[in-house]
A and B are shown apart, each in its own frame.
Chain A
Amino acid sequence: MCLAIPGKVVSLEPSDDETNLPGKVSFGGILREVNFCFLPEAEVDDYVLVHVGVALSKIDEKEAMETLKYLKEMGELDELNPEEEFSGE
């Protein structure tokens, strides 16, 4: 239940209601209504983390890319020393 799910913002509706800033988020193609009142800065096409109907944070693409790049580079370095490769099971 505590697990929040990443999705892509598809639409945001204008709203004056401070407890309800409605928008639609696509979770791998499944559209759901999400309340953006904790994340008013979100924009269409942003990736956001949604939990029990409210958007909680934007997913930082730059950070995600940096983490992946760093981890991939580490893997490439490992291949230079194949004898040290982890043997799995």
Chain B
Amino acid sequence: MKYLSEFRDAAIVKTLLNNISKTVTRQWNIMEVCGGQTHGLVRHGILDMLPDQVRMIHGPGCPVCVTPVSLIDKAVELCLEHDVILCSYGDMLRVPGTEMSLQKARASGGDVRILYSPLEAVEIARSNPDREVVFFAVGFETTAPANALSVVRAKQLQLTNYSILSAHVMVPPAMEAIMDDTDTQVHGFLAAGHVCTVMGLSEYEPLVEKWKMPVVVTGFEPVDLLEGIWMVISQLENGEHRLENQYKRVVSNQGNRQAVELVKKVFEYRKRDWRGIGEIPLSGLFVKEEFVDFDAAIKFKDIKIPETVDTECLSGDIMKGKIKPPECPHFGSKCTPEHPLGAPMVSSEGACAAYYQYKMQS
């Protein structure tokens, strides 16, 4: 594959590691926000190759992990009690709800379908006019355009049986919440490349200025990750703070304007509860009044959701970088991918899943 293998080149990886080692003179904590980057760092063994002075903190970059339990409960209820065809990305299925996961709901007779794209859910609604179809719209900014498109397309096709259960979250407000938390000592950020593919860079300038910290938009391959880390370290060692773009081959300054416009047409920003972290202002995307017929939270608002029971999962501490997954007392014992206590152990972007998959197995 073009532009994939080149960015896994061992010689370049070695050079970058060498540069990082030569540049770093003291302890720096760098947070990668995106779960895809966390998996890259663990999977390629980069965490073990970095000098001890470079400490990577794994941020809350897994949208599945931060989806509130109440929304999972609502999705379970929709398919078990209301005969809804509940469509979801596969990541969401094993995440524990208060009483059960969507996977268990499916085993109990619920019509839960795993899809690759929300546009497939629109087609399912089209070919099942007698059934309600709900798409569980989980994700960060990268996923929002496709979900917005599904709503606009359903409206254009005059479908009355399609709606989305929006659990969308935004990255910059979460970075702000992390910096506000006095227990967290993050010196610089690797910003998530694919989020910026859509949104562009402008949202990060105010963060760089406010917190006087380097932010480097970074890709996902070993060369990308190490170059991003090196760029952050170089700025820190020189006492600088800038917004830089390591991932220029994919991310432009302005992002994808057509995608952003459609997202803003369908959604508006409101406060959102993040599982394990709490409420973050203006961090969630909610369906606008104009598209209210396509908002499952309104369409099925009479569904009563039982109160969420606290679990033993320490996901909040993990996503704020206070502990690493293996430091959790339940990691690999009481909590495994087969019997998870929380979402980070089962989501494909969860930090616990990364450590379990690549470290426990090796």
Q: Which residues of A contact B (CB under 8 A)?
A: 1-4, 6, 8, 19-20, 27-28, 35, 37-40, 47, 49, 51-54, 56-57, 59-61, 63-64, 67-68, 71-72, 74-75, 78, 84-86, 88-89
Q: Are A51 and B249 in contact (CB under 8 A)?
A: no
User: Cβ of B360 < 8 Å from any Cβ of A?
Assistant: no
Q: Which of B30-50 contact A (CB under 8 A)?
A: 34-36, 48-49
Q: Are B194 and A4 in contact (CB under 8 A)?
A: yes
Q: Which of B130-170 contact A (CB under 8 A)?
A: 138-140, 142-143, 145-146, 149, 152-153, 156
| 10 additional contacts (CB under 8 A) given A1-B91, A40-B258, A88-B17 | A2-B36, A2-B142, A2-B194, A54-B117, A56-B145, A60-B248, A64-B3, A71-B227, A74-B19, A78-B15
Q: Which of B16-67 contact A (CB under 8 A)?
A: 16-19, 21-22, 34-36, 48-49, 61, 63-64
Contact A28/B34 with A19-B153, A74-B19 known, Cβ cut-off 8 Å: no
Min CB distance B337 to A, Å, is 16
Among the 9-residue stretches B6-14, B68-76, B98-106, B325-333, the one with 4 or more Cβ atoms under 8 Å from chain A is: B6-14
| Chain A residues with CB below 8 A from B11, complex form | 72, 75
User: Cβ of B315 < 8 Å from any Cβ of A?
Assistant: no
Q: How far is the CA of A75 from the CA of B63 in the complex (A)?
A: 37
Number of A-B contacts (CB under 8 A): 144
Q: Are A52 and B249 in contact (CB under 8 A)?
A: no
| Chain B residues with CB below 8 A from A78, complex form | 15, 18
Q: How far is the CA of A6 from the CA of B140 in the complex (A)?
A: 19
Please name the residue on chain B nearest to A2 by beta carbon. B142
User: Cβ of B120 < 8 Å from any Cβ of A?
Assistant: yes
Q: Are A74 and B140 in contact (CB under 8 A)?
A: no
Min CB distance B203 to A, Å, is 16
Q: How far is the CA of A46 from the CA of B149 in the complex (A)?
A: 23
Please name the residue on chain A nearest to B21 by beta carbon. A86
